[in-house]
Amino acid sequence: MAVTIQSIEAILVDIPTIRPHKLSMTTMGVQTMVIVRMKDSDGLEGLGEATTIGGLSYGPESPEGIKLVIDTYLSPQLIGQPADHINTLRVMLERTTRGNHLAKSALETALLDLRGKRLGCSVSDLLGGAVHRHLPVLWTLASGDTARDIEEALDRIETGRHRDFKLKIGARPLMEDVRHVAAVKQALGAEASVRVDVNQAWDESTAARGMAELQAAGVDLVEQPTPMKDHAALVRLSRRFHLPILADESVADATDLFHLSAAGFTGAVAMKIAKAGGPVRALAQATVASAAGLGLYGGTLLEGTIGTAASLHAWSTLETLHWGTEMFGPLLMKDDIVVRPLTFRDNGVELPDGPGLGVEIDEDKLAAYRRKDL
């Protein structure tokens, strides 16, 4: 008799960050996660997570909207369905519900976690098997204060936690941002990689000026300098500078990436399981990128441990991550809702052991941070 999906619960969880996290469009002091708990007819539970950055200031899906979509539209379609038919269920949701990739990613993750627990294998095993057990992780410097960012980076280097750093810029005047980045790069020296994320804040002419200055300052990578829909600007900029561009918001799925690469873009792509609609489709994006000769980077929407673990299982199956990963989301939060946090060491993170995601909910912590008014 087939094992079926019996219940799905979507829970809003609010955890303060260790410091204000400043982006070009907002400053975060709290991260809100949508935690999915899916139970099957045998009593096993699968976990998933949908998390975005800064509510609706970053993208079209908010935590509250994600919960509403799961509760009202997606869960009723899944209840009573065979829990092991993951591909069938993904296709069904794509046909009945447009968009809402973050919500779908959380549900696919929960289904994979359930399947792994049933079979006694990891999610990475379900995705073909891990090539790497330890993945590199950079740290984002986003206080906005130069001296504080330098102090924070030097501390991470000294403790062996990180040696690659990304600076969030774009909210201030161009040359003010450039001076900030150049000062950080000079303080850290040649041993540390420094990248910047503009989060779509520049038009093409500003981006051209900025990239020239950043290239001279020794920056290694510029993430999404121009608006997401302006593919032509990304192509022109990628051809004009030897400083590589990382496409992020411009690429949601494998189709976006195909069109961008076909237009002549040369650089790298930030893969995110959430924006792709789940781990399986994120890995399809990696296949297109590799065929086009583009670099791979394991991106994040600042997920907590559950969402980060799901991404790590996917990224672990890839032969090469040219620019590493930024799966530091749990480190940005003051607390966690899992029994055993991820192990960050040696400038990276260990792939969690155990069946499924290898993650277990801490019920007391979940109760403490669960939003009470919804």
Catalytic residue numbers, as ranges = 168, 326
Within 10 A of 220 (CB to CB), how many other CB atoms are there?
18
- Secondary structure (H, E, C), 252-276: CCHHHHHHHHHCCCCCEEEECHHHH
Q: What is the DSSP letter of 189?
A: -
Grouping H, G, I as helix, E, B as strand and the rest as coil, residue 36 is: strand
Burial of 370 (0-12, 13-18, 19+ CB in 10 A): middle
Reading the block at residue 355, the tokens are 């069946």
- The pair phi, psi for residue 159, each rounded to 5°, is -85, -5
Which amino acid, residue 183?
A
Residue 123: CB partners within 8 Å, gap ≥ 6? 109, 112, 113, 116, 279, 309, 310, 313, 314, 356, 357
Reading the block at residue 72, the tokens are 């009202």
The closest alpha carbon to 124, from 134, 136, 135, 112, belongs to: 112
